[in-house]
Amino acid sequence: MKIYLEKLIAGSDLSYEEMKGVTEYCINEATDSEIAALLTALQAKGETADEIAGIVDVICAKSTFKTTPILNAIDNCGTGGDKSFSFNISTTSAFVLAGAGVTVAKHGNRSVTSKSGSADVLEALGVSITLSNEQIEELLHENKIAFLFAPNVHPSLKPFTKVRRDLGIRTVFNVIGPLVNPVDLDTQFLGVYDKSLLPMLAETLKKLGRRRAMVINGAGGLDEATLAGENHIVFLHEGNVTTYTLRPEDVGLPYYAIEEIRGGDAKRNAEILLQVLNGKIGPHYYTVLLNAGLALFTSGKAESIRDGIRLAEESIQSGEALKRLEKLVEYSTNLSGVV
């Protein structure tokens, strides 16, 4: 470990194979201090696509979740770390995607740098986050959406969890979290807190075998698309990368300031999520339409971003998005034996 730490501190990158070896060491025998030093050194230097792919491949190989192939599965997730305290945009959008007919393998965790992670808000809604592999697969096929709680499907992450929480800063795991989904994803919609990371993350997704993917840094520096101005986007399609910007007026949506989409704790964010899925018009609703519309285009379900936004609105207004959530809550209630 010392050799690799010195290399990182000197500003040199680790190779894919070196990063795999370091990750194995962290999982099997490293101390908390060594893991903290590694995460801090990587963050200070700036991670590369090879370094991230090395970590991701080790973690996914050790996942306890194995499934039969799921065609056209997508995950939509932000990296966190933007310190905006926005409501749970990607989790809300996931139900809209499922309601539109796209299979969503929603991989996530509790909050580390925010007030409410995806696991926190889903628990507040009455969704079980401790399902078996068989139950997750059943929901993916029958409900078009299931939640994969990272600590359950990735026990190898345990050595990193306490260190991340103690550090309380952005680390490579903000970037890695959305990438270690154990489902073999066709497509991915990924938000990131730092615009400079867009090309590197697109290259990482390419290395990880995504057929289509979109990486976005939202206006105001959020890890979600926002209606506050210019969103920066990198789109990966069959190995080809396109870079462009998108403003709300480009797709017929209104402007809203970042302050208007702030959330709160898990209970408050659950209330916002339900309001959106019940069709309450406002900044939260339109922000979800934008993010879900972009993800529907990324998945190939929509022919354009505008078409994606139209399908997203249909998913909400028809009640299909809400039905996907209600199915998860009903499934969880039945498991707990509550009548």
Residue stretches of the annotated binding site for anthranilate: 78, 109, 164
H helix runs in the chain, sequence order: 2-9, 16-28, 32-45, 49-61, 89-99, 118-125, 133-142, 150-153, 158-167, 172-176, 198-207, 266-277, 283-299, 305-317, 320-336
Beta pairing, strands 231-237 & 212-217: antiparallel
Count of CB atoms within 10 A of residue 304's CB?
Answer: 12
Binding-site residues for Mg(2+), in ranges, read: 90, 223-224
d(CA 251, CA 6): 48
Enumerate the known binding-site residues for 5-phospho-alpha-D-ribose 1-diphosphate. 78, 81-82, 86, 88-91, 106-114, 118
Tell me if 277 sits within 8 A of 313, measured CB to CB. Answer: no
Short-list 222, 294, 217, 210, CA closest to 260 = 222
Annotated binding-site ranges: 78, 81-82, 86, 88-91, 106-114, 118, 164, 223-224
Structure tokens at 54: 């090395």
- Concatenating the DSSP letter of every residue in 309-330 gives HHHHHHHHHTTHHHHHHHHHHH
- C-alpha–C-alpha distance, residues 224 and 80, integer Å: 9
What does the longest C-alpha to C-alpha distance in the chain come to? Answer: 60
Amino acid (1-letter code) at residue 309: I
Say how far apart CA 119 and CA 153 lie, in whole Å: 13
